Structure 1
Amino acid sequence: RVAERLVKIVEVHGPRPSAQKRYEKLYPIFKNAYKALVPIYEQIASLK
């Protein structure tokens, strides 16, 4: 994936069970945002 080439993962945090309902609402929004940004990520990657 394009984003994996652009971002270095330094630290990973696991989900908090107490926030599950919020995650369930936010995750579809995140997925849509990511898909919409893929062309922009590709443009950025092509600048290297």
Structure 2
Amino acid sequence: MRLREEFSSRFNNGMQCLNRMHVDEMCAAGFRLTRKNHVERAG
């Protein structure tokens, strides 16, 4: 039972890390898109 708890906590930590990376990528992509739109509008 102890091993299972440790595994699930490690798994949850990994998922949180992945989610954070995914969110960062989405934010970066969104920022790039908005910047591109601004540049096109200004030009």
TM-score bucket of the superposed structures, by smaller chain: 0.3 to 0.5
Higher relative contact order structure (alpha carbons within 8 Å, sequence separation ≥ 6): 1
TM-score, length of structure 2 as denominator length: 0.40
TM-score by length of 1: 0.37
